[in-house]
Structure 1
Amino acid sequence: MLFDVTTAKSLGSWCPISDRVVVGKLVAKPLNLGIIQVYTPTSDSEDVEVEKFYEEIEKAKGYLKSQDIIILMGDFNVKVGAERVKDFLGPRGIRTVNERGSRLIEWCQVNDFTITNTWFQNHPRRQWTWKSPGDRSRNKIDYILI
Structure 2
Amino acid sequence: MMMTLRAEKALTKWRAVNSRLLLVKFKTKQCHMSIIVCYKPKYDSHEERKDEYYEELQSVINEIPMRDMKIAIGDFSARVGRNNQGIENVMNVKGLGEVANENGANFISFCSTNNLVNGGTLFHHEDIHKYT
**With structure 1 as the length reference, what TM-score do the two structures score?**
0.79
Q: How does 1:22-101 map to 2 (within 5 A)?
A: 22-84=22-84, 85-95=87-97, 96-101=99-104
Unaligned 5+ runs, structure 1: 131-146
| 1:76-97 Cα distance to aligned partner (Å, 9 max, x none) | 0111111122210110011131
Q: CA distance change for structure 1 residues 15 and 63 in 2, over 3 Å: closer, same or farther?
A: farther
Aligned equivalent of 1:129: 131
Deviates more, 1:18-27 or 1:115-124: 115-124
1:24 alignment partner, SS class = strand
Counterpart pick for 1:116 among 99, 116, 119: 119
Aligned equivalent of 1:106: 109
Task: Give the conservation status (yes or no) of the 8 Å contact 2:90–2:118.
Answer: yes
The CA deviation at 1:54 is 0.9
Report which of the two structures shows the higher radius of gyration computed on alpha carbons: 1
**With structure 2 as the length reference, what TM-score do the two structures score?**
0.87
Aligned length: 127
Q: CA distance change for structure 1 residues 33 and 59 in 2, over 3 Å: closer, same or farther?
A: same
How many percent of aligned residue pairs carry the same amino acid? Answer: 24
| 1:90-111 Cα distance to aligned partner (Å, 9 max, x none) | 1001113111111111111111
Q: CA distance change for structure 1 residues 43 and 29 in 2, over 3 Å: closer, same or farther?
A: same
Q: Distance in 1 between matches of 2:103 and 2:8?
A: 37
Q: CA distance change for structure 1 residues 29 and 47 in 2, over 3 Å: closer, same or farther?
A: same
Give the aligned CA root-mean-square deviation in angstroms: 1.8
Task: Give the conservation status (yes or no) of the 8 Å contact 1:25–1:64.
Answer: no
